[in-house]
Amino acid sequence: MMSLPKVVLHEHIEGSVTPELALVLAKKYGVSLPVGFLYEEGEYDGVDFPSGRYQYDESDFGEFIRTYDVVADLIREPDDYYLVAKDYLSRNSQKGMVYCELITSAHHLCFTELPDGSSELDSRKYHDIMDAIDQAILDVKAEFGTETRLHGCAVRHLNLSDIERSVRFIKDNPRSMITGFNIAGNEMAGHFSDFHYMHDLVDDIPLAKSYHAGEICGPESIRSALDCGAKRIGHGIAAIKDESLMDELIANNITLEISPSSNRILVPEFNQSLDHHPLRRIYERGVRITINTDDAGLFGTDIDKEYQIAEQVFGFSRVELLDITLCALEAAFISDETKQTLMDSVYETFSDSDKDVLKQTCLTLQSGALYERLHARLRCLN
């Protein structure tokens, strides 16, 4: 599995911090982590969680957010962000990741309270931190060849003025590595239609949109995201509940960024199990999907582990996983030239046996959106 090329389109940089790294940062700043914040050695499977394990009630989204905020507060200086970005990108590149998009939030990076009680987003601090992240990206590319781009992000459970300030700040402080814009945070906090000004501002930058929807809320949240211009949907698993929406996703080549471990933990209706997760059904319906880590450090995962889940829990074959990787690259917010180079490298990994399996899969399907896509893969290989 490690040799199979993989892509991550959905990972929050603060959420990528492993317990091991959190301890390093806490020591640096003399921070005492809350009692019981981490499992003690021997209380968890060290093979499954090689970098330690956070201890929180996985059925409580509020507790997850509180854990996230404690971790995010440990990342303060440009050197910290360099360390965090390089750690995530290096570990996952060693496990086959060829392309990644990391989500950054100006609010997390450079929110500053002023002596008069007001606040600002500090542009100097922002650029210093982003320079450090850019350097980590370049260093990982030099070592592993991995391409990485970034998203700017608005956090929807902040108040409206903070959300609008974040978007304007991203517009006024452009970065070449930022190629996408995201709306993240608690899906229950506000609707996409509440943020018309923001959507228009993002169009003016312009940045491609990937909006979190259809994880906790239903299909209507996905429709709303699409109405506001989203080209990809973060999570989007509620699409399985609406056949006409599935048809729309297929017709418009909308890609879902699905994160199995994250969904298992955070989606109440799954009851901490993947038994009823619709990953396989969405894929077989012909919707374009990708497999992601979301908050890899907090969930104790990496991209190899997520691809293994797809294989072992959902029965995806190597050829289907290669198709998923190609879907991710086709949906990537990156130049056409770089995209094609990456896709060519993935096609080169198809063995003769893979091609035979792909042919047999097409014969089994015979028709439908998935058949059409896989048949197009065959034509590219011939």
- Residues 328-337: pLDDT tens digits? 999 999 999 9
Q: What is the mean predicted confidence (pLDDT) over 297-301?
A: 95
First to last CA, the chain: 25
215 given a catalytic annotation: yes
* pLDDT tens figures, 221-244: 999 999 999 999 999 999 999 999
For the chain, list the domains and their CATH numbers. 6-334 (3.20.20.140)
* pLDDT tens figures, 63-89: 888 999 999 999 999 999 999 999 999
* pLDDT tens figures, 197-211: 788 889 999 999 999
Please report the pLDDT score of residue 1 as a whole number: 64
Tell me which DSSP letter residue 38 carries. Answer: B
* pLDDT tens figures, 24-58: 999 999 999 999 999 999 999 988 898 999 999 88
The one catalytic residue among 215, 257, 306, 320? 215
Binned at pLDDT 50, 70 and 90, residue 2 comes out as low
Instruction: For residue 234, give the amino acid letter.
Output: G
Strand-pair partners of 57? none
Please report the pLDDT score of residue 277 as a whole number: 97
DSSP sequence for 183-219: EES-TTS--GGGGHHHHHHHHHTT-EEEEEESSSS-H
Count the Cβ atoms, other than its own, within 10 Å of residue 285.
19
Global pTM value: 0.95
Label residues 56-78 b or e (16+ Cβ within 10 Å = b).
bebeebeebeebbebbbebbbeb
Six-digit token pair at 124? 């100097």
